[in-house]
Amino acid sequence: QSMEELVPEHPSKIFTALSKDLLKELYLHEFPDHFDRKLRREKMMEALVELVEACGIKSLVGGMKRDDMKETVAVIPVSFAKSANKNSKSTLSRNLVQHLCKKGIRNILQDIDDVSIMQKFCNALDLEWDDDNSKISMITDITGAVLTFGLETFFYKFDTAVLHRIMKDLRLKTRGTNSKKKLVEAIYTMSSVKKEPKKKGKKFTYTKHKKPIDEESTYDDIFQHYYVEEVRDWCKSNGLKTSGKKKVLINRILDYFDGDHGPNVMSKKRKVSAARSKARKKRKTDS
């Protein structure tokens, strides 16, 4: 699924559905120094929501080129210390992230009149855009992508056992999966893991007009035109081993035509003993 097909829920909605104990566990994972503090649910949620958005903004800025950052900080504009090197990508990145986090990505986008800056954001997030895109649609796409990247980055920090507990609190079905990707996607879209479609085996139609088995035969030719007993009879008539299922017999025939006459061929000793046994039975009958 592409980023545009997955619609993320707002982090506050996800965190609201979690038990206080689980919410506290997520919070202390990010802020371990707050272990001894009296933690209120509202404050924990507020801090985690800000953290998720910050993760998304870092992904956005991390995908931008240095020249795009320079143009962006000039338009927004972003403030720098007097001694800051405005040509340094790390300096540009750090200040741009701080500014976007402080003002909020949606507020920044709403104040931008230069569509080319939004297009740079779209490029950094691998979003498709064209000249016909309205400003509102671009804001929606960009904020949605930033939110998705933020939620993915945040929840990927936790192991599958924690993700399963989050799914339980959200009352979502895991369908027994331990795939972190599927669990994280299910959490940030607040939807159960989708059922995997059953793989349909290849269906063959048996025909009455049989092609002869020869060097030109393919696996499908033999499988379609012959029943297993017919394939086994062919193997027996041509001195090949007759043990195994149909696919084994067919592969044995194909190997035989490819020049592999080793283990697939019945031993002469067995053939001779079979002939002797047949003759012995005949003598008994005659007598």
What is the per-residue pLDDT for 132? 75
As a whole number of Å, the end-to-end CA separation of the chain is 79
**Prediction pTM value:** 0.65
Sign of the Cα torsion 120, 123, 127, 133 reads positive
pLDDT at 29 over 60: yes
- The set of residues, in sequence order, having a beta carbon less than 8 Å from that of 190 and lying 6+ positions away, is 9, 13, 14, 17, 170, 172
DSSP string, 80-104: --TT--TT-HHHHHHHHHHHHHHH-
- Burial class of 15 by CB neighbour count within 10 A (0 to 12, 13 to 18, 19+): buried
CA contacts within 13 A on the Cβ side of 207 = 10
What is the per-residue pLDDT for 133? 76
What would the pLDDT profile of 193-210 be if each residue is shown by its tens digit? 988 777 666 565 656 667
What would the pLDDT profile of 263-284 be if each residue is shown by its tens digit? 666 654 444 444 444 544 444 4
| Secondary structure of residue 33 in the 3-state scheme | helix
The per-residue b/e assignment along 203-236, b for 16 or more CB within 10 angstroms, e otherwise, is: eeeeeeeeeebeeebeeebbbebbeeeebbebbe
pLDDT band for position 101 (50/70/90)? very high
Arithmetic mean of pLDDT, 96-110: 94
What is the per-residue pLDDT for 221? 86
- The set of residues, in sequence order, having a beta carbon less than 8 Å from that of 107 and lying 6+ positions away, is none
Higher pLDDT, 56 or 134: 56
pLDDT band for position 28 (50/70/90)? very high
Arithmetic mean of pLDDT, 29-53: 95
CA contacts within 13 A on the Cβ side of 109 = 22
Arithmetic mean of pLDDT, 68-85: 92
Arithmetic mean of pLDDT, 243-265: 83
Highest averaged pLDDT of the listed ranges 118-122, 129-133, 160-164, 262-266:
160-164
pLDDT band for position 177 (50/70/90)? very high
- The set of residues, in sequence order, having a beta carbon less than 8 Å from that of 174 and lying 6+ positions away, is 164, 167, 183, 186, 192, 193
